């Protein structure tokens, strides 16, 4: 999380946070809200004594504008990008805290199937890496995460991803954001967060 926030803080003061985030249909601001919300939601799934197995925690979801992501967390636009990035830090910190304190035997609902804390952590990392990529493209900011981090989440969530290619481009390919040599850009994709036991 720290790497992502540090990268996004390098955006020029005049950066347009409403510009499209990479190839997404969402603006950069909305994408960061979506990311923060996802991290918060993953943490919330792990929090109850009896985590839900058939749906997400029943927060009321809202859309900031038509076509944008449905989020629980929305940043106060008056707080500017600094406030937006604080919301992102909070979402990531909550997920880290829940993953560290939840029993490894905890299981909770996710749209791609029931996941354990390790699965939620890996999903949070992928969300952070690829959405930071999207926002960085929209803001004109450099972003290349560590290859070993990409490798770990590829191994955990994308069992069919190639293993003989560079890790960051492979993660972008696995999430439908780029081509790889000899492999066209995916038009649909998913991860596999089910526990490995």
Is 38's pLDDT higher than 90? yes
pLDDT at 72: 82
DSSP structural state of residue 186: P
Q: Dihedral of the CA atoms 77, 78, 81, 84 (nearest 10)? A: -60
| Burial class of 38 by CB neighbour count within 10 A (0 to 12, 13 to 18, 19+) | buried
pTM of the model: 0.95
pLDDT digits 0-9 by tens, 113-143? 899 999 999 999 999 999 999 999 999 999 9
| Portion of the chain with pLDDT greater than 90, in percent | 86
Q: Where are the beta strands (DSSP E) in 30-96?
A: 62-63, 70-71
User: 183: which strand partners?
Assistant: 180
Q: Dihedral of the CA atoms 88, 138, 156, 116 (nearest 10)? A: 30
pLDDT digits 0-9 by tens, 68-121? 888 888 899 999 999 999 999 999 999 999 999 999 999 999 999 899 999 999
Is 62's pLDDT higher than 80? yes
Instruction: Answer yes or no: are the C-beta atoms of 92 and 129 closer than 8 Å.
Output: no
* Among 107, 134, 129, 131, CA closest to 120: 107
For the chain, domains (ranges, CATH) are: 2-143 (1.20.120.450)
């Amino acid at each position: 999380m720290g790497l992502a926030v540090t990268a996004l803080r390098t955006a020029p003061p005049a950066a347009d946070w409403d510009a499209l985030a990479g190839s997404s249909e969402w603006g950069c601001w909305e994408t960061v809200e979506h990311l923060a919300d996802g991290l918060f939601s993953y943490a919330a799934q792990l929090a109850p004594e009896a985590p839900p197995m058939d749906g997400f925690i029943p927060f009321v979801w809202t859309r900031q504008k038509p076509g944008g992501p449905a989020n629980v967390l929305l940043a106060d636009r008056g707080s500017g990008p600094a406030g937006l990035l604080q919301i992102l830090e909070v979402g990531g910190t909550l997920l880290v805290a829940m993953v560290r304190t939840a029993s490894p035997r905890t299981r909770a609902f996710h749209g791609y199937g029931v996941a354990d804390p390790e699965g939620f952590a890996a999903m949070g990392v992928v969300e952070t890496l690829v959405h930071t990529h999207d926002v960085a493209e929209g803001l004109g900011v450099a972003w290349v995460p560590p290859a070993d981090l990409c490798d770990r989440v590829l191994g955990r969530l994308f069992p069919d991803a190639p293993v003989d290619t560079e890790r960051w481009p492979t993660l972008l390919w696995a999430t439908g954001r780029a081509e790889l040599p000899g492999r066209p850009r995916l038009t649909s994709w998913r991860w596999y967060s089910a526990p490995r036991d």
